[in-house]
Amino acid sequence: MSLEAILRTNRVVPVVVLPSVEKAVPLARALIKGGVQTMEITLRTTAGLAAIEAVAKEVPEITVGAGTVTTPQQYASAVSAGAKFIVSPGLTPALAEAARAHSVAFLPGVITPSEVIMAMQEGFNLLKFFPASLFGGHGVLKQYASVFPQVKFCPTGGIDQQNASAYLALPNVVAVGGSWLTPKDAIEDEDWKQIRTIAQNSLGSILTPIAWG
């Protein structure tokens, strides 16, 4: 499955920070019950890689990706753990080379026009726009649609249930990513029912008004 196909499955991707491996599988199952079929587990904690591996093995019905990947070594480790896509907050020549060395799709991060052009020169036309809310958000992406018509985006950073629909209505936005679907306190309390409910409500309220392209 292509990266765009993965992201378009729900058009909403939970960005997950896990404090422990043990919470990964029940969290993934709660998201599936809520209708979410894709999740990004970040490598911001030491539990990240093991959590990806656990979800890939025990909850194969969800497509799990690795986020906050910043080195080729992390890229390779995430692929070995079972990640189906790789997400980075930025892009370096080394990361671009790592992406070419693996069959697992890569979503590099950009903000400025120069970074978009450099990503295009490296062969990437589907990009993460991060951190969206701090760098113009919806307004910038609306301008990028005419400046870079061949490029599509997945904005993250400051995206929530209230503003996600506005982003998704843009013609150059494939999906949005956000942590609102998996609140830190709900994960810590193992309140999987709450996470399932948030997922159901988010998909219902965000995607119903959106015309799917």
Q: Which residues are catalytic?
A: 40, 128
DSSP for residue 189: T
Q: Amino acid identity, residue 189?
A: D
Q: Amino acid identity, residue 212?
A: W
Q: How far apart are the first and last CA of the chain?
A: 18
Smallest Cα–Cα separation from 54: which of 107, 62, 31?
62
DSSP for residue 32: H
Give the Cα separation of 99 and 38 in Å (integer).
20
Smallest Cα–Cα separation from 12: which of 183, 193, 207?
207
Question: For residue 178, how many C-alpha atoms fall within 13 Å in the half-sphere facing its CB?
Answer: 26
DSSP secondary structure, 54-98, as one string: HHHHH-TTSEEEEES--SHHHHHHHHHHT-SEEE-SS--HHHHHH
